[in-house]
Amino acid sequence: MAVADEKFMQVSMGPQHPSTHGVLRLLVRTDGEVLSSVKPYIGYLHRGLEKIAERVTYPQFTPFTDRLDYLASMNCNLAYAMTVERLLGIEIPRRAQVIRVIMAELNRISSHLIAFGSLSSDMGAFTPFLFGIREREAINDLFEMVCGARLTFNYIRIGGVSQDLPEGFTDRTKEFLDYFPAKIREYNDLLSYNSIFIKRLADIAVIRPEDAFDYGITGPNLRASGIRWDLRRAEPYLVYNELDFDVPVGRGEMGTTGDAWDRYMMRIYEMEQSAKIVGQCLGMLAPGDHTAKVPRVLKPPVGEAYVRAENPRGELGFYLISDGSTKPYRLKIRTPSFANLSIVPKLGKGVMIADLIAIIGSLDIILPEIDR
């Protein structure tokens, strides 16, 4: 640990701090309000999921993926299931694919609602946070209806989904989709286009495309820099290639392309698109099996695969090496927030303390995913 010299004050922000989104510790050197360096210290939430994966069977690991990005458990389940399915070579029934897309997109909305809310509360406006929670609650109800859990779903399984959609799910989802756009307009009035909010975020912490590539930024943060890269379009999985949706990219509406406001706004735009996708998928639901025939004991053949999927926070990849037994030989989890956070020391130079909060909030990191 560097010894603070006289000119600077060294402040340890976290691991217990109101706005580090978990147990992140930032060692900050400041000159008054201006930061001269930021050093993230992570690992406070390290549970050794990769090690656990080596001692549980393939299906047993699914609940653990819930605990990667707990705000987007469905997406994590999905990416893991896709990885194992690729090694096993299983084809998924169409109905299961459509259900998976519905779940993934609903979860994307609920995750972005938290991103929206937590950024707003970081910026000092607490009301939008509760509004975001309110709409998320409706989605949680839908999830509870489908799989019985509200946070750690363990719903998307190897081979399909654990249960078929319940009675009344479609109507309830449609009801939600009907009123959701009005809520987004409300968010925009309340927060997105609020001039104080824009002032706080526009032109702050601009990530240029080169930096985004260098630091492995993915997801909405990458698209905010103006790069149209979305795995749902670039490497379509499930039924995404049949769906009509846009991939919003940052245009620097309020400042520079790739600034914090663009990153924030990507999430609002993506919620709109996800709602659109869910609407289309509800129409595509045809009777069929909700899961493929999967043997009771899974023994993928020897091999390795790196499979990735678009998570709300970026690219979630599982690098799985199978030695032909019932347990993974090695499972490396490439999480989006880990790479997204690694740019913070670069962005955090020369900004103010309040901006650092905006940077962390706009990158929308989530700690269990970083520490695994």
Partner 1 sequence: MIGLIGHVTSSLAHAGPLVRLLVTVVIMLVSAMVVLAVALLYEGAATYAERKVAGDIQARIGPNRVGPYGLLQFVADGVKLLIKEDIIPFYADRWLFIGAPYIVFTASFAAFVPLSYSEHVSVADLNVGVLYVVAISSVVSMAILMGAWGSNNKWSLFGGMRAVAQIISYEIPIVLSLLAAVILPASLDMKDIIVYQSGGLGIFRWLVFNNPFTFLSFFVYFIAAIAEVNRTPFDIPEAESEIVAGYHTEYTGMRFAFFFMAEYGDMFVVSAIATTLFLGGWQVPIIGGLSMPVWLREVLEVAVFFAKVFLLIYVMMWIRWTLPRLRVDQLMDLCWKYLTPIAFFNLVGASVWVLLLHGRGVYDLVAGLLIH
Partner 2 sequence: MEAKKIFDILSGKFGGSIQQLQESTFPPSVVVGSDAIVEVCDFLKKAEGLDFLSLVCLSGVDLKEQGRMTVVYHLGSMKHGHMIAIKVELDRSSPHVRTVEKVWPVANWYEREAYDMFGIVFDGHSDLRRILMPEDWEGHPMRKDYVYPKRYHTWDV
Partner 3 sequence: MAGYFKRMFSSIKSIMAGMRVTIGYGVNPKTEVTQQYPEVRREPFDRFRGKLFVDINICTGCTACARICPVDAIVLKTVRDENKKLRPVVFDIDNAKCIYCGLCVEACPVDNCLYFEKKYEFSSYSREGLVSHFGLGEPKSAEKGPEDDRKEAVK
Task: Return the residue of 123, 191, 205, 316 that touches partner 3, per CB under 8 A.
Answer: 191
**Residue 11 near partner 3 by CB under 8 A:** no
Task: Return the residue of 58, 155, 176, 215 that touches partner 2, per CB under 8 A.
Answer: 215
Nearest to 266 by CA among 244, 253, 248, 245: 248
Closer CB to partner 2, 123 or 367, in the complex: 367
**Residue 140 near partner 3 by CB under 8 A:** no
Taking CB within 5 to 8 Å according to partner kind, which of partner 2, partner 3, partner 1, none is near residue 19? partner 1
Stretch touching partner 2 by CB under 8 A, among 11-19, 68-76, 186-194, 228-236: 228-236
Stretch touching partner 1 by CB under 8 A, among 100-108, 119-127, 228-236, 286-294: 119-127
Closer CB to partner 1, 124 or 324, in the complex: 124
Stretch touching partner 3 by CB under 8 A, among 78-86, 133-141, 256-264, 337-345: 133-141
- Give me the DSSP letters along 283-344: HH--S--SB----SS--PPSEEEEEEEEETTEEEEEEEEE-SSSSEEEEEEE-HHHHHHTTH
**Cα–Cα distance for residue pair 369/281, rounded to 1 Å:** 28
Q: Looking only at residues 163 through 192 of this chain, which bind partner 1 when binding is defined by CB under 8 A?
A: 190-191
Do residues 264 and 289 lie in contact, with contact meaning Cβ atoms separated by under 8 Å? no
Closer CB to partner 1, 14 or 314, in the complex: 14
**320 — phi, psi (to 5°)?**
-115, 125
**Residue 29 near partner 2 by CB under 8 A:** no
**Cα–Cα distance for residue pair 135/252, rounded to 1 Å:** 28
Stretch touching partner 3 by CB under 8 A, among 9-17, 188-196, 259-267, 269-277: 188-196
Task: Return the residue of 59, 117, 258, 300 that touches partner 3, per CB under 8 A.
Answer: 59
Q: In what order do the strands lie in the sheet with 9-13?
A: 9-13, 25-31, 34-41
**Cα–Cα distance for residue pair 295/247, rounded to 1 Å:** 37
**Residue 357 near partner 1 by CB under 8 A:** yes
Beta-sheet pairing, 34-41 with 156-157: unpaired
**Residue 292 near partner 3 by CB under 8 A:** no
Q: How far is the CB of 232 from partner 2 (least distance, A)?
A: 13
**Angle value at C-alpha 116, between 239 and 185, nearest 5 degrees:** 80
Q: Looking only at residues 319 through 358 of this chain, which bind partner 2 when binding is defined by CB under 8 A?
A: 319, 321, 330, 332, 334, 338-339, 342, 346
Nearest to 162 by CA among 90, 86, 74, 238: 74
Closer CB to partner 1, 100 or 200, in the complex: 200
- Using CB atoms within 10 Å of the CB of residue 125, give its burial: 0 to 12 exposed, 13 to 18 middle, 19+ buried: middle
**Residue 197 near partner 1 by CB under 8 A:** yes
Nearest to 77 by CA among 171, 194, 148, 160: 160
Burial 203-217 (b: 16+ CB within 10 A, else e): ebbbbeeeebeebbb
Residue 192 has, within 13 A of its CA and on its CB side, a CA count of 20
Closer CB to partner 2, 138 or 206, in the complex: 206
**Residue 55 near partner 3 by CB under 8 A:** yes
Residue 182 CB contacts under 8 Å (≥ 6 apart), including other chains: none
Tell me how many residues contact partner 2 (CB under 8 A).
Answer: 34
Residues making contact with partner 1 (CB under 8 A): 9, 11, 17-19, 32-33, 120-127, 130-131, 134, 190-191, 194, 196-197, 199-200, 352-355, 357
Residues making contact with partner 3 (CB under 8 A): 55-56, 59-64, 66, 127, 134, 137, 141, 144-149, 152, 154, 162-163, 166, 186, 189-191, 193-196, 198
